[in-house]
Structure 1
């Protein structure tokens, strides 16, 4: 079972309806990241930021897509036992039968909702942020993962309450191919999260952990969709090493979102995909702390990288 580093605990495959705490409360600078899928038979679903985990509690932010022939998304606030005035958007960012990614970015002005990488709507605050203590999801929706970034108690590691490692914020919608330094380099127990989608017709996705000064590839993870394999290797001094191909399962498919967690240990990398352990890769570059560059290439659409 994947144990995330302190302060970072994604929630995988929760049942719906789902209600869970936001440890430490909500504040500006935090983000809620939800991956899921919409069934073909959908009528509506809702995502609520609540002031408690009980029925009838105040709701600071109510997000309610409705497929009713006049497709729309309703925003509202519920307090003192009553719904307030609705804000309706007659535009539907979700498609029946398709997967989605939704980000709720909390700002000092309100809740910025982005769906599938595009800005959708800003809902201004009607209640104090510090009253929000729970997330509720219900209706016709399947949830793959929930990440709450920027909250939690320092070093707490509570499920759902996530403190950014080294105070870093996620990178949303990074370009492909991606190349970026790993701030501070790799260290024991450090986890890097990569989320995105493999569109239909995609052929490959390659993730490289590198030593910038030598361009050595310490860990090469190569998803070959058409062959149905995931190859692991290293390239040191210009020479490729021994390939590793054995897997207990291959989670990568065309048309599907992926959630990759790569954790660095003292002896090896551990790779988890969609919450399940996929493989290990023992370090071939020592000391591994000199690994300081991440490069990603291929046919994927990236939505999120967290260091």
Structure 2
């Protein structure tokens, strides 16, 4: 699920299904110039502090310059774990919680800041909440573990014009290159999106009838190793609009039929945490 809106704070929500290993909860918003603290919490049984377990409590504190992590279980708080707060009052915030079998990975602005070992089972989490001095504009929850290399067909109309492919990923710490290909039914690559850290370039191309076309390399290498990215590829009638982290990165004019995109291939030095195909929303960029 993904929604762009202004959420009421305090925010309370029931998860529509269990929080599974591999999934990520994404919370984006903005803090005020006078923000003191806000919290993101994962709950058991109810989205409040009425005595039920709180498997993960994250308290972002501007008054202390710290982020505090803790668990409330069997009626009492455990031992706090602390990290320095990378945000300042008034900053935009992007906080992500990724679940694994034995721990959470917590990211601030797409960089990992904390591994937090589970103190109560992941399977007990049923609700989450956000409280305090924050303005929330985006909440998304989903994803899973993806093997790389990854290949998948896309049923139905595929990535037809008017659709957007969204990929959440993280280049490997020592990675050199990775690629994301959009495939036609005959195996041709309509779009080859190929970040190359060894060349400091993000190359776009097409492979049609076994021949590569002219490379397009305009734009800076704005990806960083070990730092997550949100890639959106909008299929429009005349070409692909490519966005990275919400900002327009490039336009790639179609070199082949735009209605025949029925497969995705991903390979190279990248970890993928989510893949979605959604209806394109108007972007203001």
TM-score under structure 2 length normalisation: 0.59
Match of 2:78 in 1: 85
Match of 1:99 in 2: 92
Residue pair 1:112, 1:121 contacting (<8 A) in 2 also: yes
Residue pair 2:182, 2:265 contacting (<8 A) in 1 also: no
Match of 2:155 in 1: none
Q: 1:77 to 1:29 in 2, by over 3 A?
A: same
> Structure 2: which 5+ runs fail to align?
145-165, 186-192, 194-200, 221-228, 276-285
Q: 1:123 to 1:260 in 2, by over 3 A?
A: closer
Deviation readout 1:11-48 (Å, 9 max, x if unpaired): 22341422223222112222222222222111100011
Match of 2:152 in 1: none
Match of 1:63 in 2: 58
Residue pair 2:167, 2:232 contacting (<8 A) in 1 also: no
Deviation readout 1:150-188 (Å, 9 max, x if unpaired): 36xxxxxxxxxxxxxxxx98412579xx9643367268x
Relative to total residues, which structure has the larger strand share, 1 or 2? 2
In 1: Cα distance, 2:272 partner to 2:136 partner: 17
Q: Does 1:123 align with 2:116?
A: yes
Q: 1:118 to 1:261 in 2, by over 3 A?
A: closer
Deviation readout 1:192-243 (Å, 9 max, x if unpaired): xx9xxxxxxxxxx98957447544489x9x899xxxxxxxxxxxxxxxxxxx
Matched residues, number? 225
Determine helix, strand or coil for the equivalent of 1:172.
strand
Alpha-carbon shift at residue 105 of structure 1 (Å) = 1.8
In 2: Cα distance, 1:169 partner to 1:96 partner: 30
Match of 1:36 in 2: 29
Residue pair 1:40, 1:97 contacting (<8 A) in 2 also: yes
Match of 2:170 in 1: 172
Match of 1:156 in 2: none
What RMSD over aligned residues (CA atoms) do the two structures have, in Å?
4.7
Equivalent in 129, 141, 156 of residue 136 of structure 1 = 129
Q: 1:108 to 1:87 in 2, by over 3 A?
A: same
Match of 1:237 in 2: none
Residue pair 1:38, 1:94 contacting (<8 A) in 2 also: no
Q: 1:108 to 1:263 in 2, by over 3 A?
A: same
Equivalent in 45, 59, 75 of residue 52 of structure 1 = 45
Residue pair 1:186, 1:264 contacting (<8 A) in 2 also: no
Q: 1:24 to 1:281 in 2, by over 3 A?
A: same
TM-score under structure 1 length normalisation: 0.55
